[in-house]
Structure 1
Amino acid sequence: MNNKLTVIAASLLVAFCAPVFADQAEDIAQLKEQVRELQTKLGGTNLKFNADYRVTSDSIEYKMADGTTAKNSALLSNRLEIGMGYQPFDNLIFHGLLSYNKAFGETGINSDPRNPGMGNFDWVTNENLDDNSLKVKEVYMLYLGDNFLGSDLDWSGSLGRRPSTDGFLANNRNGYDQPKSPLGHSINVEFDGLSLAVKLDKLTGISGMDAKLCAGRGLSATATPRFSSTGADYSDTGAMDNIDMIGLIFTPYNNGQYDIKAQYYYSNNLIDMGYDNTGTPTGFEQLGDLQNLTLSMQVNGVGEFINDFLDDTVLFASVSASQTLPDGGMTAGGNYGMLGSQDNETGYSYWVGATVPAFFEGDRFGLEFNHGSKYWRSFTYGEDTLIGSKIAARGDAYEAYYNIPIIGESLYFQLRYTYINYDYSGSNGFFGNSGAPMTMAEANAMGMGGMVAESAQDIRAMIRYNY
C-alpha cells in the first residue's frame, strides 16, 4: 500500500470507528493523533508559502523653503515579499515574511555607497529601497489558548519579529490588505518583541472587545563587537541604554461594521545624532522618552442596507497625541533636549478618510487627509510613501488613490497621488535636533532654506500580484 493510500485508510478507520466508540472519546482522540503522526512521517507537514510582488513607478518632487526644487520624474522599483507559515497544531502557528525592495538597476552612482544614511536602519530596513538581498521582515510564533487565568476567555501570545507595519487604517490605501497589529496613526515600523492578547467579549457581553499588551526592543545596548581584543564579546559598554517600548491596544467595540480601537505606548531612551563643537557628527546620543495616545474608528458600511453604494462605503477617523519627555542631557555641540526643546512638548494629529466603490466590480476610490501640529511626532518611519511619512507631517497631507482589480484580488493596478504641505520642518526626523520644528521663514533666515522641504508630492502607478 503506497503512502497516500495508507493515510486514506487510516482516516477512514477513524471515521468508521467514531460511532462505534461514541462513548470512548479518548480512544477516538488517540486514533486521530495516530493519523496526524502518520501524515507527519509521510511529509504531510510543511511550510505553506505565498507571494506578493509589485512594480511601481513614482514621480516625486519637492519644493524647498528657498523656492528651489528637487525631483525624480521616473523612479522605478520592485518589491517581493515571500510569506511562509505552518500550523502543526490547532493552537500553534509559525509565520515568517521575507522581503526584497529595490530600485531598478544599480543605485548609488551619484552618492557615497559607503554612507547609505538611515535607509538600512532596523526599523525601516524592508520599507526603503536597498539592494537585491532578501531580508527577514517578520518571523514569530503564535500560541492560541483558552481558559485565560482559569476563566473561559480566549487568549493568544506571540514572540518574535512581529507584524507592525501597515496597521489599522494604514492598510486601506493598499487595496485589499488586512490590517496588522498596531494602529497605523502612531506606529508603522518594524519591531522585535512580544504580545499577549485576551478576548473580553465573553466576560463583558460587548461585541469584539479585547485587549493586547505589546512590548518590544528597538535598540540593544550591546556594543562590543565579536572577537574583540578584550575577549568580552557582545558585552554592554554602557555607552547607550536599550530602547524599549511597551503599549496597550484596546478594542472597546467591534461588531464588524463599527470598529473602535485605542492605543497607548511609552518608549524610552530615544535617539538622534550628536555633534561636536566643529559640527562633526559624533554618533547617536540618547535624549529622553516619548509617550502617545491614539483613538481610531472605522465604519464598514454606512447605515443598514440603504443602497449598494453606502453598504460598500468605508469611513474612518483617528486622533493622536504625542508627548516628549527629555532627560535634560546636552551634547558637546550644544544639541539638547528633544525636538529642539528641553521642555515636555505635546503634539497632536488628526486623520480622516473614506474608500468607496467606483465604476467596475471590485474597484475602489479612496481619499485621505491628515494634519499634524508643531511638535507632533509619530513612529511611522516605515510608512510606504517615498517622500516620507504623510502621517508624520507637521502640516497638511492629502492623498487620493484608485485600486482596480485585474484578475480578482490577485492582480490589481493602483494609481495614487500624495501631497504634503509642511508648516514646520523635522516631520521625518528623529527625536533630537533633526526633529526640531522650524517655519519656512525661520529656515530661510538661518540660511537653511535649501535644506528644508516646504511641500512634497508623489504620483505613483503600481501593478501588484498577491497570492
Structure 2
Amino acid sequence: MKKVIKLSLAASMLALAMNANASDDINSKIDSLQKQINELKNSQLDTSDALEERIDEVETATLTDKIKFGIEFRTQVNNFDIEDAAGTSSSDSNIWSNRLRLNMGSDITDDMKFTGRLSMYKNWSDSNINLFSGMDPMQGRRPSDSGVFVERAYIDWTVAEGAVPVTLTIGRQPSSDGPSHQFKDNTVRKSTYSALSFDGAADGIVATVNLQKVSGIDGMALRVGYGKGYQDSSEMSYVGNPGGTNDTNVLGIFLDTGLGIEGSLLQLSAVQATDVVSNTTNIAGEDTNTNIGDVALYTAMVELTDIAKSGFDIFAHYAISQSKPNGDSGLMATDTDNNGIPDTNVPMGLLSHGVIGTDKKTGNAFWLGTRYTMPIESMNNPRIGLEYNQGSKNWFSFTQGSNSVTNKLATRGSAVEVYYIQPINRYAHIRLGAEMIDYEYTGTGYQIGAPMEVSSMGAMATDKLNNYYLLFNVAY
C-alpha cells in the first residue's frame, strides 16, 4: 500500500513538473508573440508618422507652389517733442512699436494673378484698439492692438493683349506706401499713386492701359479707377430703409510715363470724391455722420532714380485740392475748454464749422526730396536722405492711412525730414531719422472744421512737433 502511495505521489510530482515545463514554454511563446506584435505596431506607427510627414510636406509644397509668401517686419522707437502755440513744451519718449506684414502672390493663370497682404501694427504692450485704426483706410496702417487686417487683396486680370494690353485690378488695391516713399523705405516702388495725395487701404477697380508698345515710351500707361471711400452697408439698407447717407464715390485718372531717361517717372492725375462724409459723433456718442461735400485732387509728380549712375535720386510732387462744401454738417463732440473732456456739440462741415457755407476752398502742397547712396562697399553702401513738404491753409488729401504716425504730408504748414539708412544685408537695414513739423493752421489731415491760425489758438493747438526715431526693418 505504501509503495502504491509513493508511486502515485511520484507520478503526481512528475506530472506537475511536466505541466510547469509546458506552462513555461507556452508563456515564453506568448511573450515572444507579444513582442512581435508590439514590434509590428511600432513599425506601423513609424510608417504612419512618416507617411503623415510626407503628406504634410507634399501639401506644404503644393501650397507654396501655388502661393509665394514674403514677410516684412519692423521695430521702431519714436521720441516726440511737442510745443503748443502758447510756448509750452512737452515730450513723449521711448515709444516702441512692431509692424508685421505677410505678403502673398500667386500666378493663377497666364493672364490672372493674385496679390495679398496681411498686416499687424501695434505699440508695445498695447491691447487697446486705436480710435482711428478701425477706420477702413487705416486698418493695418495705424498702431492698434495685435489684430491682423487685410491691407491688400486683389486680382490682376489681363483682359486684352496685343499692341495695347489692358489689365483690370480688382479688390483691395495697392494704394498705400506710394511714390516717393520707396526712397526712405529703402525698397522699390510698391504702389501706384503719389503719396502726397493718397496713402491708405482702399477698395475698388482700376483699368490699366499699357501704352508702351504703341507709344514707344518706356513705362507709359493710362489708368482709370473707381472706388468707394464710404458705403452704406448697414443691415437696414438691405430691406429698403437706408440711413440717408450717400456713398462716397471716387473716380480717378492717372497717366504714367518715362521721360526718356533711365529710372525716370512722370505721373499726372485727377481724382474726384463725391459726397464725402463727416465721420462725426456727438457728446452722447451717437453717430452723426452725414455728407458734407465733394473733394477734387490734381497731382503731378516726377522721379529720377540714380541719375547718370551718380547714386543721387530726386523727386518732386505738387498737388491742388479743391473742396466744395454742400452746406450740411455733422454734430461733433468738441472740447472747447481744452481739458480733455468734450463739452459742446459743434456743427462740422467740409473745411468749415459753425455756420456752414458752400464756397469752394482751394489748397495746395508740394513735396521735394533727395537721396544719395554712398559708394562704400565695406559698409554695404549706406544712404542719406532729405525731404521737405509744405501745405497751405485749405490743403486736404486722402493720406489718413499713412504708415507714418505724424502723417507729415497732410501738414498745413511745413515739415523737414532727414535720415540715414545703414544696410545690414540684402534683406535688413537700420534707419535713423528726424522729422520736424511746423504747423501754421489747425486741422491737419481732417476734412472737417475750418482751419485756424495756430498762433491764435494758444494751448489748444500744437505749433511744433519733432520726432526722433530709430527703426530696424527686414523684408524677405
Q: TM-score, normalised by structure 2?
A: 0.78
Distance 1:370 1:43, change over 3 A: closer
Matched, 1:122 2:148: no
Distance 1:457 1:55, change over 3 A: same
Q: Return the match for 2:226 from 215, 219, 243.
A: 215
Distance 1:275 1:207, change over 3 A: closer
Q: Find the counterpart in structure 1 of residue 258 from structure 2.
A: 253
Q: Find the counterpart in structure 2 of residue 97 from structure 1.
A: 117
Q: Return the match for 2:466 from 448, 457, 465.
A: 457
Distance 1:324 1:161, change over 3 A: same
CA contact (8 A) 2:142 2:402 kept: no
Q: Find the counterpart in structure 1 of residue 86 from structure 2.
A: 66
Q: For 1:398 and 1:130, how far apart are their aligned partners in 2? A: 27
Q: Find the counterpart in structure 1 of residue 316 from structure 2.
A: 317
Distance 1:271 1:70, change over 3 A: farther
> Per the alignment, in what secondary structure is the counterpart of residue 327 of structure 2?
coil
Distance 1:42 1:250, change over 3 A: closer
**Percent identity over paired residues:** 23
Q: Which has the higher helix share?
A: 2
> Per the alignment, in what secondary structure is the counterpart of residue 168 of structure 1?
coil
Q: Find the counterpart in structure 2 of residue 424 from structure 1.
A: 441
Q: Find the counterpart in structure 1 of residue 418 from structure 2.
A: 400
Structure 1 window deviating more from structure 2 (244-253 vs 332-341): it is: 332-341
CA contact (8 A) 1:164 1:191 kept: yes
How far did residue 367 of structure 1 move? 0.3
Q: Find the counterpart in structure 2 of residue 297 from structure 1.
A: 302
Paired letter, 2:136: D
Structure 1 moving runs of 4+ over 6 Å: 41-44, 278-281
Question: Which string of whole-angstrom CA distances, capped at 9 and with x for unpartnered residues, describes residues 41-98 of structure 1?
Answer: 9778421111111111111122112223343201111011001111032211111100
Q: Find the counterpart in structure 1 of residue 56 from structure 2.
A: none
Q: Find the counterpart in structure 2 of residue 87 from structure 1.
A: 107
Q: TM-score, normalised by structure 1?
A: 0.79
Q: For 1:44 and 1:135, how far apart are their aligned partners in 2? A: 22
Q: For 1:122 and 1:379, how far apart are their aligned partners in 2? A: 12
Q: Find the counterpart in structure 1 of residue 21 from structure 2.
A: none
Q: Find the counterpart in structure 2 of residue 272 from structure 1.
A: 278
Distance 1:300 1:284, change over 3 A: same
Q: Find the counterpart in structure 1 of residue 210 from structure 2.
A: 199
Q: Find the counterpart in structure 2 of residue 239 from structure 1.
A: 244
Task: Name stretches of at least 5 consecutive residues in structure 2 with no aligned partner.
Answer: 1-58, 332-344
Structure 1 window deviating more from structure 2 (171-180 vs 370-379): it is: 171-180
Question: Which string of whole-angstrom CA distances, capped at 9 and with x for unpartnered residues, describes residues 172-208 of structure 1?
Answer: 2111242312111100011001111011122223332
Q: Find the counterpart in structure 2 of residue 165 from structure 1.
A: 176
Task: Name stretches of at least 5 consecutive residues in structure 1 with no aligned partner.
Answer: 1-38, 226-231, 306-310, 444-448
Q: For 1:203 and 1:134, how far apart are their aligned partners in 2? A: 43
Distance 1:136 1:330, change over 3 A: closer
Q: Find the counterpart in structure 1 of residue 52 from structure 2.
A: none
Paired letter, 2:278: D
Q: Find the counterpart in structure 1 of residue 10 from structure 2.
A: none
Question: Which string of whole-angstrom CA distances, capped at 9 and with x for unpartnered residues, describes residues 251-301 of structure 1?
Answer: 14344332111111001111225577x897653222001001000001123
Q: Find the counterpart in structure 1 of residue 372 from structure 2.
A: 356
Distance 1:285 1:152, change over 3 A: same
Paired letter, 1:258: S
Paired letter, 2:150: V
Distance 1:88 1:254, change over 3 A: farther
Q: Find the counterpart in structure 1 of residue 398 from structure 2.
A: 379
Distance 1:299 1:236, change over 3 A: farther
Matched, 1:190 2:190: no
Question: Which string of whole-angstrom CA distances, capped at 9 and with x for unpartnered residues, describes residues 376-415 of structure 1?
Answer: 00111122222x211110111000111111012x111111
Distance 1:237 1:43, change over 3 A: closer
Q: Number of aligned residue pairs: give it.
A: 397
Q: For 1:105 and 1:451, how far apart are their aligned partners in 2? A: 29
CA contact (8 A) 2:380 2:425 kept: no
CA contact (8 A) 2:321 2:395 kept: yes
